Amino acid sequence: MNDHAKILMSHKQASISQHGYNTEVLINPKYWDVRHPDDDVRKERIDSITRSSVRLQFVMASPLEDDNTIRDVGAGEKARLKVRPNLFGSDLFGEVRQLRNDILTFLQADPFDPNEGMHFGNEGTPHHAGGTLRMSGDGTGVVDINLRFEALDNLYAVDNSVVPFIAAANPALAISALSLRLADHLHSIL
Name the burial class of residue 134, with classes exposed (0-12), middle (13-18) and buried (19+) by CB atoms within 10 angstroms of its CB. Answer: middle
Q: What is the distance between the alpha carbons of residues 36 and 51, in angstroms, rounded to a whole number? A: 20
Strands 62-63 and 165-166: antiparallel
- What pLDDT is stored for residue 158 in this prediction? 94
Please list the residues that pair with 59 across neighbouring strands.
22
Nearest to 17 by CA among 58, 56, 57, 61: 61
Task: Write out the E strands in 28-158.
Answer: 54-60, 62-63, 69-71, 80-82
The whole-model pTM stands at 0.56
Which regions in the chain score pLDDT beneath 50? 36, 124
**pLDDT tens readout for residues 71-85:** 888 888 887 877 777
pLDDT for res 157: 94
User: What is the domain partition of the chain in residue ranges?
Assistant: 5-62+88-106, 128-190
DSSP 111: P
DSSP, collapsed to helix, strand or coil, labels residue 96 as helix
Q: Look at residue 41 in the predicted model and tell me its pLDDT.
A: 52
The model's pLDDT over 5-42, given as tens digits with 9 standing for 90+, comes to 888 888 888 776 677 788 888 877 765 555 545 555 55
